[in-house]
Structure 1
Amino acid sequence: MSIALPRSLSALISSYGPYVGALMARGLELVGKLGLYMVGARILGVHDSGYFFLCMTWVGVIATIARVGHERAVVRHVAAELAVGRGRAALKALLSGTLVVLVGGTIASLVTAALAQPLAIYAFRDPEAARPLLISAAVILPQALCYFLGNALLGFHRSAAGQMVQNSLWPIFTLAALVAGVHSLDGILYAFAAANLAAAGVGVALLFRERNRFVDLPSDGADHEPLPSLWRTALPLSVVEVMQILLPSLPILLLASFGLPSDVGAFSVANRISMLVWVVSTPIGAVAAPSFAAQHRQRQTDEMRRLNRRMRLAIAVFSLPIVAVMILLPGPLLHLIGPGFEIAAPALMVLGVGQLIYSLMPCQEVVLSMSGYGGVLRWLIIAQAVVTLILCFALIPPFGMMGAAISNAVNAAQLAIGSAIAVRMLMPKVF
């Protein structure tokens, strides 16, 4: 005997179904990244793990610069063009974006390899960091492709697959290498590069399966304004993407200049734990992003408002328990990573407060970028950068990890508050 669900409950479950799929994909990321951080930290120790996390941070920043905003632009263009039956235009956006990322990633890899020793000596004041930075150059191009291809899948409303490609597969593959016996710093970095390359290969295979959608469909008769070129969409978003990865990473890079490798290792772990909120918010925002782009193209304001409210509620429900553990139990949480990491407990509490504010007003930057307000978002991010730079240089030299934690907490809170105010002012019916 089957039990029929009430229509309202069935509709609610159906509306949140895509979020659950994306969260399951990010659940694999959570397992992979936490496992990688814990196993890697125990194998390398506090000192060498500092080099590992420094390289991960460097790769993340440089690979983002290499993509010059095309990863978020391709989501909007693919989703919006397919929504009005323009499959050939979607294909053109995908191919042109891929070419830009290939060229940018190659240049970034070569520049990092050439400058590894000067960076280690003059930027990070540690000549021993030169070899890890040199090896990390091999990771940049695969990671740039990995993130771009994952975002391209989001444009096809393949949210779970996109999250797997850009966030879940590479940490799982890297962790598998550690479990298989790769225990040196050099070996782990090489495994990191191979894992990103494998994830990018999966992304290519999944996009190839969508090839039948790159055809033009009969017009619906509506007058749809043409989208700007991919470059015009990407340019303001490139500032947004670079700043969103650079600003949380800047305290780690400065701490590497003013602190010990052990401080970098401990704070990097605390910072990455605090970013578990992004593990929740990013997939939910990624699921909603192509729908925002399509609904904005079709001028469906009421649908955008309902989607925005569902998105915010889902993120708050899943994020608040994580934030509570960060703030209330930072020491035991860090002890799970390994001995010695508890020194970052006060920093984790401060980081948790910043993530609490973000989780209450999340992902409004996604609404802005998918609605054609990339220029407004760019200025919000520039203001964020100014505040973060001031805090970093004022607080990190005298206060070390706590200064870095305050900088990142303010960064997260400012992003949430600023983008929420912008959406409320520019699109009041959407908030």
Structure 2
Amino acid sequence: MTTPEATTRPRPEATGSGVAATARGGWWGMAGSVANAVFSFLLVGLITRAVGAQGAGVIFTGVAMFTILSNACKLGADTGLVRFVPRDLAVDGGRSVAALVRTALLPATVAGTAAAVPLVLFPSVATALLPQLPPADAAALIRLFGLFLPAATVGMVLLGAARGYGTVVPFVGVEQIGKPVLRVLIAIPIVWCAPSVTALASAWLLPSFAGSVAAWFALRRCRARRPTPRRAAGADVPWRAFWRFAAPRAVSSVFDIGAVWIGVILLSALATSREAGVYTAIGRVVTAGTLVQLAVRLAVAPELSRLLAVEKVAEARALHRVSTCWTVLLSWPLFGVVACFPGTILSVFGPGFTDGALALVVLCAASMVNVAVGSAQTVLLMAGRSCWHLTVTAVAFTVQLAVGVLAVPAWGVLGAAVSWGAAIVVENLTAAVLVRMRLGFTTVDGGYIRALAVGLAVTTVLVASRLSEGDTSRGLAVGMVLGLCVFGITLCRYRMLLRLGDLVGALRHRAA
């Protein structure tokens, strides 16, 4: 496959509907990212201040277990729907969409129910996961998480089907706005009246069921807005192709989500619940920094699948370059702020959390590598290379687990951060090499270089503020003001290369 050369001017194929659709979806995703970041911070702050670092560590160990299991029980079906639904809509008018949803939903429901059984019936699972708690308390907490597991799994599969229709609004509304807001609203009276580990865990879990109901209605609305012809009796449904793609993704999704949460579990088992609580707060900060990238990926994925299905490979490559440029432009300055003022940012969670400042800097550096490769992993998946993606994530998770087992007992929170950072770098650089060498998707062009330059310029200003004022609230305020000035000036200077017109036009379209 011939690789197009990078250029410093926007390519003609990059100006089509793919970029415009991605920009519109990206704006929705970024709005959801902001809401998710704000309310996730509020929730973690409420929990840590109500029950302390140790109590928060117990709650988020359960959250880690729940999140890993719910993502595993999807069996890759949500990503399969994101890939196959837009392909079917583009090629066959959507005749097989209903059958594809049924093909995806039934196995995921069975898997979610099967995974919940040991959590509900076997207390030994809880005592192994939470050895610091009395056995009865640990069993009650883990049983609570098990009861909500099937509904959460079904909801995420339904949202994958809705994304296949080319809209990120249901996903943003449920996962990034609805659930975080509900969790905070439920937690506030609990913290005020009767704070406890079990009650706050319930506040986190209750929106999962509501989110699944909302996802079902959202998918019905998507299908009503775009009615499709009835599938002819006896017509083939590509279920074999669907599960050949989804099965490797099922395993790689476990590695993906496990990378985020395995540090919490390792710290709970090999160190202390207090350190698990500190690490959870660090993870919230790092995840908030990558939410812009997630927003862009959500918008890019179905559009890439559609373009590749109709053999518009050049436009798909251009879309990848533009979306990566936007991701770097909007994410690098955020990580610069966090890396320069980690102690000040962590102090919002309460006393003792500033001990994780160095660990936060390590993860910021690794996350900047993640951001720099853009949607490389999404390209692998939407091009149908789920086996490649599985290999990449498996290697990265192995690195993380090996480093974590060695480093966590010795270094605690810093060891968990080093293990996750190593996995991030390995996974993303490997994915970037694969999409470049095997699929011909380039990343670097004039816009990308300018986006990196903007990030470096802002980071330089932030470093100067840190050296001048220290890791203080005043230093953070001064750095952000000066950084915003530099950011605005460079955006005006390079607005054409950075394709800001597409972003602004998408915003106007959304407002209209």
> By the TM > 0.5 criterion, same fold?
yes
Q: Which residue number corresponds to residue 215 of structure 1?
A: 228
Deviation of 1:230 after TM superposition, in Å, equals: 2.1
Give a deviation string over 1:142-161, Cα, whole Å, max 9, x none: 32123222222111111122
Deviation of 1:10 after TM superposition, in Å, equals: 12
Does the CA contact (< 8 Å) of 1:19 and 1:287 recur in 2?
Answer: yes
Give a deviation string over 1:126-155, Cα, whole Å, max 9, x none: 343333222221232232123222222111
Q: Which residue number corresponds to residue 367 of structure 2?
A: 355
Q: Which residue number corresponds to residue 144 of structure 1?
A: 153
Give a deviation string over 1:184-229, Cα, whole Å, max 9, x none: 22122223222111111111111111233352399xxxxxx97853
Name the amino acid aligned to 2:265.
L
Q: Matched residues in 2 for 1:136 and 1:237: separation? A: 24
Q: Matched residues in 2 for 1:32 and 1:144: separation? A: 22
* TM-score between both structures, scaled by the size of structure 1: 0.91
* TM-score between both structures, scaled by the size of structure 2: 0.77
Give a deviation string over 1:214-256, Cα, whole Å, max 9, x none: 52399xxxxxx97853221110111111110112222211111
Q: How does 1:241-390 map to 2 (within 5 A)?
A: 241-390=253-402
Distance 1:264 1:86, change over 3 A: same
Q: How does 1:22-33 map to 2 (within 5 A)?
A: 22-33=29-40
Give a deviation string over 1:372-430, Cα, whole Å, max 9, x none: 11111111112112211211111112111111000111111122101110101111156
SS of match in other structure, 2:131: coil
Does the CA contact (< 8 Å) of 1:146 and 1:166 recur in 2?
Answer: no
Q: Matched residues in 2 for 1:230 and 1:112: separation? A: 30
User: Aligned-pair RMSD on alpha carbons?
Assistant: 2.4
- Select the residue among 102, 110, 113 that pairs with 2:117: 110
Deviation of 1:312 after TM superposition, in Å, equals: 0.6
Name the amino acid aligned to 1:30.
A
Q: Which residue number corresponds to residue 125 of structure 2?
A: 119
Q: More relative contact order in 1 or in 2 (CA 8 Å, sep 6+)?
A: 2
Q: Which residue number corresponds to residue 85 of structure 2?
A: 78
Q: Matched residues in 2 for 1:293 and 1:9: separation? A: 18
Q: Which residue number corresponds to residue 171 of structure 2?
A: 162
Does the CA contact (< 8 Å) of 2:292 and 2:330 recur in 1?
Answer: yes
Q: Matched residues in 2 for 1:217 and 1:137: separation? A: 38
SS of match in other structure, 1:398: helix
- Select the residue among 191, 194, 206 that pairs with 2:206: 194
Distance 1:208 1:304, change over 3 A: same
Moved more, 43-52 or 12-21: 12-21
Q: Matched residues in 2 for 1:333 and 1:32: separation? A: 15
Q: Matched residues in 1 for 2:325 and 2:441: separation? A: 17
Distance 1:390 1:181, change over 3 A: closer
Q: Matched residues in 1 for 2:99 and 2:227: separation? A: 9
Q: Structure 2: give runs of 5+ residues left out of the alignment.
A: 1-13, 232-236, 444-512
Name the amino acid aligned to 2:143.
L
Give a deviation string over 1:296-332, Cα, whole Å, max 9, x none: 1111111101110111111111211221122111101
Q: Matched residues in 2 for 1:39 and 1:375: separation? A: 41
Distance 1:338 1:9, change over 3 A: farther
Name the amino acid aligned to 1:40.
I
Q: Structure 1: give runs of 5+ residues left out of the alignment.
A: 1-7, 219-224
- Are 1:392 and 2:398 matched, yes or no? no
Does the CA contact (< 8 Å) of 2:25 and 2:298 recur in 1?
Answer: no
Which one has the largest radius of gyration?
2
Q: Matched residues in 2 for 1:352 and 1:416: separation? A: 14
Does the CA contact (< 8 Å) of 1:18 and 1:159 recur in 2?
Answer: yes
Q: Matched residues in 1 for 2:170 and 2:338: separation? A: 29
- Select the residue among 415, 418, 429 that pairs with 2:430: 418
SS of match in other structure, 1:299: coil
Does the CA contact (< 8 Å) of 2:72 and 2:250 recur in 1?
Answer: yes
Distance 1:248 1:362, change over 3 A: same
Does the CA contact (< 8 Å) of 2:56 and 2:277 recur in 1?
Answer: yes
Paired residues in the alignment total 418
Does the CA contact (< 8 Å) of 2:328 and 2:372 recur in 1?
Answer: yes
Does the CA contact (< 8 Å) of 2:190 and 2:200 recur in 1?
Answer: no
Q: Matched residues in 2 for 1:145 and 1:338: separation? A: 36
Deviation of 1:86 after TM superposition, in Å, equals: 3.6
Name the amino acid aligned to 2:156.
Y
Q: Matched residues in 1 for 2:209 and 2:128: separation? A: 30
Distance 1:44 1:197, change over 3 A: same
- Select the residue among 103, 106, 128 that pairs with 1:96: 103
Does the CA contact (< 8 Å) of 1:350 and 1:409 recur in 2?
Answer: yes
Q: Matched residues in 1 for 2:50 and 2:154: separation? A: 29
Q: Matched residues in 2 for 1:332 and 1:313: separation? A: 29
Deviation of 1:294 after TM superposition, in Å, equals: 0.8
SS of match in other structure, 1:209: helix
Deviation of 1:28 after TM superposition, in Å, equals: 1.8
Q: Matched residues in 2 for 1:80 and 1:70: separation? A: 15
Name the amino acid aligned to 1:363.
S
